[in-house]
Amino acid sequence: MYNQQTKQRSQPRKISDLELINIWLQQIPPIEQSSHLYIAQMFLNFVRKPLEKVTSADIIAFANVRSVDSHHRESDEQKRLETINSLLKFCQQTGILPTTQKQPTTQKKTLSVMTTNFKKSASSEDKIKNYRTTRKMQKKPLNWYKLLNLQLASFLLIIFVLFMAISQLFRQVGRSANGDENESVTSAVMPKIDPTKNWAYPVNVPRIRAFLDTISVTEGTTGPQGYYRQYTGSHFSSFEDHPRELKCALSNGKELCSDAAGRYQFLSTSWDRFAPVVEAKNFSPIYQDRIAIELIREKNALKDIEEGRIEEAFRKLYMVWPSFGETEIDVERLMPKLVATYEEKLALYKSNRE
Write out pLDDT tens, residues 280-303: 999 999 999 999 999 999 999 999
Residue 145 belongs to a domain: yes
Task: Determine contact, residues 205/306, Cβ cutoff 8 Å.
Answer: yes
Instruction: Put residue 71 in one of left, alpha, beta given phi > 0 → left and psi -120 to 50 → alpha.
Output: alpha
Task: Determine contact, residues 127/165, Cβ cutoff 8 Å.
Answer: no
The rounded percent of the chain whose pLDDT value lies above 70 is 68
Confidence of residue 169 (pLDDT cuts 50, 70, 90): confident
Residues 6+ apart with CB under 8 A from 74: 35, 38, 39
How far apart are alpha carbons 196 and 152 in whole angstroms? 66
Is 223 found in the same domain as 141? no
Is 213 found in the same domain as 144? no
Q: Pick the range with the lowest mean pLDDT from 83-97, 206-220, 271-285, 316-330.
A: 83-97
More confident residue, 211 or 175: 211
Residue 189 belongs to a domain: no
How far apart are alpha carbons 17 and 108 in whole angstroms? 30
Confidence of residue 141 (pLDDT cuts 50, 70, 90): low
Can you give the residue range of the structural domain that contains 247?
A: 206-353
CATH code, 323 = 1.10.530.10
Confidence of residue 180 (pLDDT cuts 50, 70, 90): very low
- pLDDT number for residue 196: 41
Residue 267 belongs to a domain: yes
Mean pLDDT score across all residues of the chain:
75
Is 217 found in the same domain as 116? no
- pLDDT number for residue 308: 94
- pLDDT number for residue 298: 94
Is 136 found in the same domain as 219? no
Residue 191 belongs to a domain: no
Residue 174 belongs to a domain: no
Is 216 found in the same domain as 145? no
Residue 260 belongs to a domain: yes
Among candidate residues 136, 154, 172, the one where a domain is terminated: 154
Cα distances from 313 to residues 80, 134, 326, in angstroms, run 78, 101, 15
- pLDDT number for residue 278: 92
How far apart are alpha carbons 60 and 71 in whole angstroms? 19
Report the domain count for the chain: 2
Cα distances from 172 to residues 86, 143, 168, 177, 185, in angstroms, run 46, 44, 6, 9, 17
With helix as H, strand as E and coil as C, how does the chain read?
Answer: CHHHHHHHHHCCCCCCHHHHHHHHHCCCCHHHHHHHHHHHHHHHHHHCCCHHHCCHHHHHHHHHHHHHHCCCHHHCHHHHHHHHHHHHHHHHHHCCCCCCCCCCCCCCCCCCCCCCCCCCCHHHHHHHHHHCCCCCCCCCCCCHHHHHHHHHHHHHHHHHHHHHHHHHHHHHHHHHHHCCHHHHHHCCCCCCCCCCCCCCCCCCCHHHHHHHHHHHHHHCCCCHHHHHEECCCCECCCCCCCCCCCEEEEECCEEEEECCECCCCECHHHHHHHHHHHCCCCCCHHHHHHHHHHHHHHCCCHHHHHCCCHHHHHHHHCCCCHHHCCCHHHHHHHHHHHHHHHHHHHHHHHHHHC
Residues 6+ apart with CB under 8 A from 224: 187, 188, 189, 190
Among candidate residues 135, 154, 173, the one where a domain is terminated: 154
How far apart are alpha carbons 118 and 311 in whole angstroms? 95
Q: Angle CA(27)–CA(29)–CA(32) in degrees, nearest 5?
A: 120
| Residue 331: burial class (beta carbons within 10 Å; 0-12, 13-18, 19+) | buried
Is 263 found in the same domain as 140? no
Is 131 found in the same domain as 50? yes
Q: Angle CA(348)–CA(349)–CA(350) in degrees, nearest 5?
A: 95
Is 133 found in the same domain as 53? yes
Is 348 found in the same domain as 212? yes
Is 115 found in the same domain as 220? no
pTM above threshold 0.75: no
Confidence of residue 320 (pLDDT cuts 50, 70, 90): very high
Among candidate residues 154, 179, 194, the one where a domain is terminated: 154
Which sequence positions are flagged as catalytic?
219
Is 263 found in the same domain as 146? no
| Residue 17: burial class (beta carbons within 10 Å; 0-12, 13-18, 19+) | buried
Q: Pick the range with the lowest mean pLDDT from 59-68, 84-93, 99-108, 176-185.
A: 176-185
Residue 181 belongs to a domain: no
Residue 222 belongs to a domain: yes
Is 235 found in the same domain as 327? yes
